[in-house]
Structure 1
């Protein structure tokens, strides 16, 4: 082979090697991008628009300010309204839905409607008969303060927090949930897993001019509940009855689950949302570690469509009703969790699970569009008590639109 031929051969080999390396690098880069952008596709704006269109239908029908929408029965299309009574825990969710409608659209119409629906129960700030004052006041006045810039709501929220804190028993280490008169099955200090959500009011108050003891009470309640309210398999009981004097556990029961020892799905959802929120407020890693454990347990128990049956212990029976409210609660919480964990794989895993839940909820299987005035169908409030079975529930809609709002915010940041 002469010098000219040898030079051409070397040049050809070098060119092949260069192209091969370039293609190899391109492939690796593409694979890296694929991993880092491993997210579930969702038409977020459509699902937001669906909610707003549903409000356009429902709001003109909901004109009685002494009542709020609670549920839509299986055989109905319009909201069943109940009185804004101090013992009805769901009154804050409808104004909360309206505040989020304003948040995702910027349309002042929804702000005006939210103000009108919020300010009808200012006197509820003095409720001390039960723990649900957090559920009642924070979605309404809390979001009004945060989203609507209604700074005049501050004193109402601080008074509400003081009312809630008055139910804390230091001998037990938790806030007392229900009154025994309302629930005579239990005679002493009752704490339910739902109570974790009410702690948000205390954390907010402690940061915004309220008594610093509000923070301490919220933390102590979280620690006591974390210690006593969960089984070895990381699922939650619904109701714990404590001795009011020495704090000993007397009973572990349920009110809305299938059985005392069954795994009520919305109860687990309250725990997931609650401990993610507690970590967000405290930055105490023990709460993050626990939140991840109970979240992973919840995810492990889910069916393929990511919406659980009303109790995990009956989930294998296809005749048992679903609870879309549990899915909405957890979807919203998971979006927060995806921003709080440091590991990239965990970030993607929780984010994708949340989006998959929302996509399922927005599908034909669960969406109320064209069927009823709510956002979602197929929630179950209390089958064990014989009511709110396979219905639309106002708090399912609330956590659903909250999740959509959080997802929109996250996508804007990205």
Structure 2
């Protein structure tokens, strides 16, 4: 059995057991140093990742227990949408791409398709016409967040690109492209690093400046944000075929790889002082690996960087499996250790992250079986 197969089987076993442990609740992060997940009643921005893990497990195994559990999460997301519960933020794509859209992609369930399209409309409500961007957090006109975009949103845009393909309504695609263009111009720095967030004047869209919400300093490079950018710009290229997005993804990937420590798994911020106890972020590396696999799928066969990227992603994934996974810890709930949520805020700096587990499993299944996740439909 290959190292990928061993890791996948471990993931299936843990996820199957977690179905019974979690019930109708959703895992978020651990708060006990990586033993058990903190659960919520489908009211956090991360809850789609559990749904996505269940769909991935079902696609790989064909086990109906995974399908039934995944379908129950979609019904939970339907109820969340109808109750409009904690949806006033940009992470609608994370929530509904991996739940309702996933069910549509796998089963062609029309009710799931309609739910995903309604979720796209909910995301469109975040569009701020004067500045031509999607506001990340807070209500329109908010004094702190009204003009803020964040790099994470690059992973939410695929819901809008998909909605355009499904409906032909240009509003979805136009808004996604305008936001991606603005993100490329203002969030990506000249040295190929990235800001976590950037602010604009709410009235006229004039740029104000970049800062961070979770990184080390305003001018540092938060590793999870850099990983979101690698994957998000690659996905924008897949949907639009605008090579500027492909080149941006490659630039961000080069920077990420050139700043990794010897064991190929990122610290929480590329500029944080490295000393005893500096937190890692295995979830950033998991996102990056999944994103780099997407990027490789889009690159020309003759691209001179292909061999380098292929070699480095195998090293990084092997390190995640051999040094950070819980393969030899059958009673824990998470798949990979040493994730960090919000280090400066003191929130889960060395714990399980459900998004880390999702992207780790997505990358494994892509390597082993070509299962690509639910950010787009094969065309």
Same fold, TM-score > 0.5, yes or no: yes
Decide whether aligned partners of structure 1 residues 410 and 116 sit closer, same or farther in structure 2, where only a CA change above 3 A counts: closer
Q: How many residues align?
A: 367
SS in 2 for 1:160: helix
The answer as to 2:57 corresponding to 1:97 is no
The answer as to 2:104 corresponding to 1:145 is yes
Decide whether aligned partners of structure 1 residues 181 and 188 sit closer, same or farther in structure 2, where only a CA change above 3 A counts: closer
Normalised TM-score (structure 2) = 0.91
C-alpha contact (below 8 Å) 1:324/1:378 kept by paired residues = yes
The aligned counterpart of 2:253 is 295
The aligned counterpart of 2:188 is 230
The aligned counterpart of 2:148 is 190
Structure 2: state its 5+ residue gaps. Answer: 373-379
C-alpha contact (below 8 Å) 1:129/1:179 kept by paired residues = yes
Instruction: Give per-residue Cα distances to partners, 1:235-282, cap 9 Å, x unaligned.
Output: 111121211111112232111111111111001111111101111111
Instruction: Give per-residue Cα distances to partners, 1:321-349, cap 9 Å, x unaligned.
Output: 10011011011111111121112542332
The aligned counterpart of 2:316 is 357
Higher-RCO chain (CA-CA 8 Å, sequence separation at least 6): 2
Decide whether aligned partners of structure 1 residues 187 and 209 sit closer, same or farther in structure 2, where only a CA change above 3 A counts: closer
The aligned counterpart of 2:70 is 114
The answer as to 2:266 corresponding to 1:317 is no
- How far is 1:83 from its partner? 2.7
Structure 1: state its 5+ residue gaps. Answer: 1-40
The aligned counterpart of 1:50 is 10
- How far is 1:364 from its partner? 3.8
Q: Give the structure with the larger helix fraction.
A: 1
- How far is 1:400 from its partner? 0.9
Take 2:273 and 2:51, find their aligned partners in 1: how far apart are those partners?
33
- How far is 1:368 from its partner? 5.5
C-alpha contact (below 8 Å) 1:54/1:369 kept by paired residues = no
- How far is 1:56 from its partner? 3.0
C-alpha contact (below 8 Å) 1:324/1:366 kept by paired residues = no
Take 1:228 and 1:335, find their aligned partners in 2: how far apart are those partners?
25
The aligned counterpart of 1:36 is none
SS in 2 for 1:392: coil
C-alpha contact (below 8 Å) 1:197/1:273 kept by paired residues = yes
SS in 2 for 1:383: coil
The aligned counterpart of 2:353 is 393
C-alpha contact (below 8 Å) 1:125/1:157 kept by paired residues = no
C-alpha contact (below 8 Å) 1:331/1:353 kept by paired residues = no
Which structure 2 residues correspond to residues 136-215 of structure 1 after superposition, within 5 A? 136-179=95-138, 186=144, 188-209=146-167, 211-215=169-173
SS in 1 for 2:101: helix
Take 1:68 and 1:45, find their aligned partners in 2: how far apart are those partners?
26
Take 2:141 and 2:94, find their aligned partners in 1: how far apart are those partners?
18
Q: Which has the larger radius of gyration?
A: 1
The answer as to 2:215 corresponding to 1:276 is no
Normalised TM-score (structure 1) = 0.83
SS in 2 for 1:313: coil
C-alpha contact (below 8 Å) 2:282/2:324 kept by paired residues = no
SS in 2 for 1:391: coil
- How far is 1:182 from its partner? 12
The aligned counterpart of 1:77 is 35
CA RMSD of aligned residues (A): 2.2
Take 1:182 and 1:106, find their aligned partners in 2: how far apart are those partners?
47
- The farther-off stretch of 400-409 and 326-335 is 400-409
The aligned counterpart of 1:61 is 21
Match of 2:93 among 126, 130, 134: 134
Take 1:187 and 1:339, find their aligned partners in 2: how far apart are those partners?
36
